[in-house]
Structures are given as structure tokens and as C-alpha cells.
Amino acid sequence: MNATPEAARAILRANDRGGYTVPTAGLYPYQWNWDSAFSALGWMTFDEPRAWRELTRLFEGQWPDGMVPHIVFHRWNGDYFPGPEVWRTRHDPPTSGITQPAVLATAVRRCWEGAKNRPLAKANAAALYPRLLAWHRWWAAARDPEQTGLVAMLHPWESGMDNSPAWDEAFARVRPEPVSAIRRTDTGHVDPSMRPSEDFYKRVIALVDLYAGLDWEPARLWRETPFKIADLAINSILHRANRDLLALAERFGSASERDEIAARLNLSAQAIERLWSGQAGIYYSFDLMAGESIPAATSAGFLPAWAGVARREQLAAMSKTLDRWRAALGYLVPSTSPEDARFEPRRYWRGPVWAVVNFMIGQGFAECGAVETAQCIRDDTAALISHAGFCEYFDPRNGEGLGGGDFSWTAAVALAWNLLGPAD
């Protein structure tokens, strides 16, 4: 497999659509929120102006209340469902009505600190900082109105880990009765065995229809949703992003803004700590509707290391959990525990390994001092890409590449994490 730096750069160039990067041709023809954050990190390794353009183009979709949607439909492509006609958000450019994990502040900070063109970096970071702040304020106001320290997702797609088994019980409360006609285009590009089920699509579109009927008004969504989860991935990534936003605020913000961000960090650190399960050796998400922990071990459960809130004894316990998973499989980190009866090694977020999640978990463990575990995750990620190329995700048993091919964020992470050896 030609997994070289030049091959990774070629994928980003091929998926460039004029200042924004599609995840892959055909399957995902628009700009996705957290995909673009990772893509920017890849672009930054060889084209700084293009990295900044990636980030600024995503903010063309930001809503007046600060929300940054999970898809920006810059130009029409009928080969994708659900498109703007289903979301009905009345935004220009058209967007979806939900968001995704808040990787953007982390990407901006990394681009700012790693930039060689300092005037360009200063101009872009200064312009993006207030927009990032507005988005983080939206998270706190719209998704944690009671100020618990944990923000909620109201749709599985917001987690980025769409069909994770962690949502199965809570998602069963959503009636699979959409108003919009479902037109699956994804299974025309990828084998259906690798994609979410028909039942999943009925429920996710039923939620979209419900929220569109509420005109996407955050307070109404909060009151009337049947699905409200404090997701570990969202909360850990947002905590890390607030740390990075605070660093940006030291350069571009005011004292009151720095105090505001620091207060939020203190609140969320305490809240994430409450999600730890010592018995399971991993963190669990929390069902806010049922008022109970969700005992599903997934890759999201290791992301408090990325947030920087995991203590030494928790890192040690998580390392043992990962050792056990790897012994049962072959490669880390599967998106669902192989010990879970719902583990499906080829189906989207129910088992496969995702390079971007490995990047966050691996970097988090390294920064927290768990160097051996971090190196194992990094080595496994490099081996998967070397074996199967820049695929969307990978079978954790044999390393087979799955999902879409020539995938932007996989190529970007390989570049940003320096998995491919010296440049060509």
C-alpha cells in the first residue's frame, strides 16, 4: 500500500472543493465540522494558507446564536441524504441543524502555535477566536442550561460516533416514524454491512423532522427532545477545546473572557470525573433522560485522557482495559469493546478502529505520561494505514480497510501525527 506523505497530501488535494475539504468523494460531498478541523491539521503540515482557509470556510455556516453546524452545504449535490431540503434550516449557505464535537479550537491553537507565517497566523487566529468563543458559549447555554458542567447531545450524529451501541437503549425511545422520505445514498457507495441499519436511519430522520418542526430553537429542542445524552466524546473534546480556547484568549481575548472559560473548565472537569467507572476501568456516558450511567464501553471512554482530566490511577486502569481489548483483537482502539455482545467489527461505530479517535486517545495518553500505551496506539494506527491505506475505518481483527476510501481525515491525521516516515 502506498501510504506515503505524498499520497496523503494527494488525497487532501483531490478532496479540496475550493477552500474546504470533503471527507471523501461521493459518499460525503459536503463540508463536515470535525472532519474539517482534522483536515486543517493535515493541510498545516504542507500548506499553511490552505489550512486557515479550511477553518474560515467552515465558519461561513455559523449561526447567529454561535452554533457551528455539522454540515455546510456550500454547493448542491443530489447524491447525499439528508440534504438541505430535509434539514429546513433557512440558513445561507444551507446547513444542517445540529453540531458536532468541538475540535475546532484545538485545531486553531495547533495551527497558531505551529505556524511559520506568523502574520498570516495572527490575522486568522485573531479573526477566528471570537467565533470560537461564540460557539463554546452556545454549547454552555443551549446544551447545559442548568450549568451542570456536562453538555448534552440531542441527536446521535452530534456525537460523531453515530450508531454507537452506547445510544441503543436511549435511542429506542425515538419513534421510527419519520415524515421525510428516506433515500439511502450511502449504501450505494459502501457495502451495507459497514453502514448503520435501516432502523437507525428511521429514528435519526424522525429526530430531524421533529427539530425542524420546532424551527431548531434551542430551548424548544431541550424541552421536547426524547433523546438527551451527556456523551463522553463531546464533553471530553469540548473540555480540551476550552483549554485551547483559554490559551488563545491569553493572546486574543479579555480578562473577563479568560475568567469565563476558566470557570467552565473547572465545572466540566468535576463533572467528567463523575463519569468514571472504576469497576469497568473506563468512563461511561450518561443518559440525562433516564438519569443513569450508560454501561457501554466504547472508544469515547478513553477520551478524558485527551481532555487532560484523567488521574494517574485512572490512566493505569484504562491501559489495562486497552491491553485486554488488544489481546482479544489485534489492533487498537476498537470503537466498541470486543467484550460487548453488540460488538460488530465491520459496522461503522460499533467496532471498527478510527484513526482520528486513535489520534486523540494516543496523544492524550502521551501528554498524561502513559507513554507505553500511547506508543502502542500510535504504532497500531501506523500499521493499519500502512496495511490498508487511508480508509475511513478499519477492522480491528485483521486490519482490513472499511468504509470510504481516500479519506481526508485519515490522511490528515497520518500527516499531523507523523505516521508515514520522512517526507518524499
* Cα dihedral 233, 238, 239, 244 sign: positive
pLDDT of residue 161: 98
Please report, for the domain that includes residue 209, its CATH number.
Answer: 1.50.10.10
The 10 Å Cβ neighbour count of residue 193 is 11
In a domain, 235, yes or no: yes
pLDDT of residue 424: 54
In a domain, 263, yes or no: yes
In a domain, 421, yes or no: no
E strand segments, 22-173:
31-32, 71-72
Number of domains comprising the chain: 1
Q: CA neighbours within 13 Å on the CB side: how many for 239?
A: 28
E strand segments, 274-362:
276-277, 282-283, 286-287, 292-293
pLDDT of residue 423: 57
CA distances from residue 409 to 101, 319, 331, 422 in whole angstroms, order as listed: 14, 25, 19, 19
Q: Active-site residue 162, yes or no?
A: yes
Options 231, 392, 395, 406, the catalytic residue: 392
pLDDT of residue 76: 87
Burial label, 277 (beta-carbon count in 10 A; 0-12, 13-18, 19+): middle
The 10 Å Cβ neighbour count of residue 144 is 21
In a domain, 387, yes or no: yes
pLDDT of residue 1: 65
In a domain, 424, yes or no: no
In a domain, 370, yes or no: yes
Burial label, 343 (beta-carbon count in 10 A; 0-12, 13-18, 19+): buried
Cα 172–Cα 99–Cα 241 angle in degrees, nearest 5: 115
Residue 367 DSSP symbol: H
State how far the Cα of 190 lies from the Cα of 86, in Å rounded to an integer: 22
**What is the full per-residue pLDDT of the chain (424 aa) written as tens digits?**
689 999 999 999 999 999 999 999 999 999 999 999 999 999 999 999 999 999 999 999 999 999 999 999 999 888 899 999 999 998 999 999 999 999 999 999 999 999 999 999 999 999 999 999 999 999 999 999 999 999 999 999 999 999 999 999 999 999 999 999 999 998 999 999 999 999 999 999 999 999 999 999 999 999 999 999 999 999 999 999 999 999 999 999 999 999 999 999 999 999 999 999 999 999 999 999 999 999 999 999 999 999 999 999 999 999 999 999 999 999 999 999 999 999 999 999 999 999 999 999 999 999 999 999 999 999 999 999 999 999 999 999 999 999 999 999 999 999 999 999 765 5
State how far the Cα of 60 lies from the Cα of 336, in Å rounded to an integer: 34
* Structural domain of 86: 5-416
Residue 291 DSSP symbol: T
* Cα dihedral 40, 44, 47, 53 sign: positive
Q: Active-site residue 113, yes or no?
A: no
In a domain, 422, yes or no: no
Residue at grid coordinates 453540531: 99
Q: C-alpha cell of 190?
A: 459502501
By C-alpha distance, which of 362, 360, 361, 356 is closest to 410? 356
Helix (H) or strand (E) holding 375: helix 371-388
Options 162, 168, 344, 367, the catalytic residue: 162
